[in-house]
Structure 1
Amino acid sequence: MPCTDTIATENIDFCADQENPAGISPVEIYCARVIDFDTIEKPTALGAALTLVEAGSITAAHTFTAPKGFFKINILPDTGSVETTNEGEKGSKTNTNVFSGTLPGNSARNIGFIRKYQNVGMIFIVKQINGEMRQIGSQDSPAYLTEASGTTGLKAGDINGMPVKFADVQSYPAPVYTGTITEFGGV
């Protein structure tokens, strides 16, 4: 079977006068259980994508049956990130995509969140400060809770919160999601 290259060669340039802010929004993090979706979209297959943007994004919207949908979580400012690590041997590379952040406080609600979702396959849509939405998790490889801890802090000024990490393993880095975000309750 011959290999086909459908993606046009493109320059990957950057203008120094363009803004390129780091970080994620602490208030625009959407998540849902994989079992709550009717359809879960994914990036165009590498052999079918025509551009690098198409290979790195999901443009179609995920669907739910009402009243299911994404719910929002908030994290403490400056504690969250989306990270992608390329791993493996030549010829069989994969990517580990991680969303991490610190839930504010050590409340019963946060403890309940960890209990409820610690063994549940999830999909997260996380807004970057530059406005792009990144997806962690897919139908074939949901994001699972890999770390959770909590501290009340020792003294004034310490963080009082519960750091959490959700990770997936994909053949691609965490894609940009441009589809509609349907929140639970049909909102």
Structure 2
Amino acid sequence: MPTVSFSNIDGTSHQKPNPGGIRQVYVAIARDIQGVWPKEADITAGEITTLPVMVTGKKFAEYECPDGTVDASSQQSGDPGYMSYKHMINFSLAGYSKELIAELQKHRNAGSVFIVEQNDGTFSVVGSSDNPIYLKSDFKTGKKGSDKRGFDLKGEQDGQMWDLVPLKETLISQIQLLPQV
């Protein structure tokens, strides 16, 4: 996606809200996506314009996280001529149960692709099926009753071809999600 020349742009958010934070987290195991998604051909005018084709019967899961515990980010790095992006996601899951343990075991040596809804309603894709995010978890019991007890999860993947890219708004309602429990 070569850029021919620069364009004028207002990056000040002057008189516009610009809230940080994440509302929703959707996740799919990369192998549950057929082929490569997203790929460069899926990005038009700065947004992803197609949804992944899922393996038959597979869907995205929704993780409900405590308020203020999800962060998705990216970082461009590399010397001129060798630049790429790193995608990162961090989130927490409160509590301790056999269901949480079983869910987190699914991430062991299995890369994932995330779709996150930012607090302004924009959905972004973190990772890709050919360069997925591998999560590492950290569990803490807390030392006393008011301490946080649960899992902190972090994942990153270097070598992405593009920054975190928004998903076209008209596609959001078509994301295939597992039914709520």
TM-score (norm 2): 0.83
Alignment of 1:98-177 (within 5 A): 98-145=88-135, 147-169=136-158, 170-177=160-167
Contact 2:113 2:132 in 1 (8 A): yes
Equivalent residue, structure 1, for 2:34: 38
Unaligned runs of 5+ in 2: none
Aligned CA distance change for structure 1 residues 42 and 6 (closer, same or farther; 3 Å): farther
Pick from 15, 18, 25 the counterpart of residue 16 of structure 2: 18
- CA shift at 1:42, angstroms? 2.4
What is the Cα-based RMSD across aligned positions, in Å? 2.3
Structure 2 counterpart of 1:161, which letter? G
Task: Note closer, same or farther for the CA distance 1:154–1:164 as it changes in structure 2 (3 Å cut).
Answer: same
Give the CA deviation at 1:32. Answer: 0.7
Q: TM-score, normalised to structure 1's length?
A: 0.81
CA deviations on 1:43-80 (whole Å, 9 max, x unpaired) are: 646xx95xxxx2x3212122224421101111111111
Instruction: Give the conservation status (yes or no) of the 8 Å contact 1:41–1:58.
Output: no
SS of 2:106's equivalent in the other structure is helix
Partner of 1:61: 51
SS at match of 2:87: strand
CA contact (8 A) 1:39 1:64 kept: no
1:163–1:89 CA distance, 2 compared to 1 (3 A): same
Supply the distance in 2 between the matched residues of 1:37 and 1:7 (Cα, whole angstroms): 35
Equivalent residue pairs, number: 172
Task: Decide whether the 8 Å contact of 1:36 with 1:68 is kept in 2.
Answer: yes
In structure 1, runs of 5+ residues without a counterpart are: none
In 1: Cα distance, 2:53 partner to 2:130 partner: 16
Shift of 1:10: 3.4
Per-residue deviation, residues 151-172 of structure 1 (Å, max 9, x unmatched):
1211232111100012222021
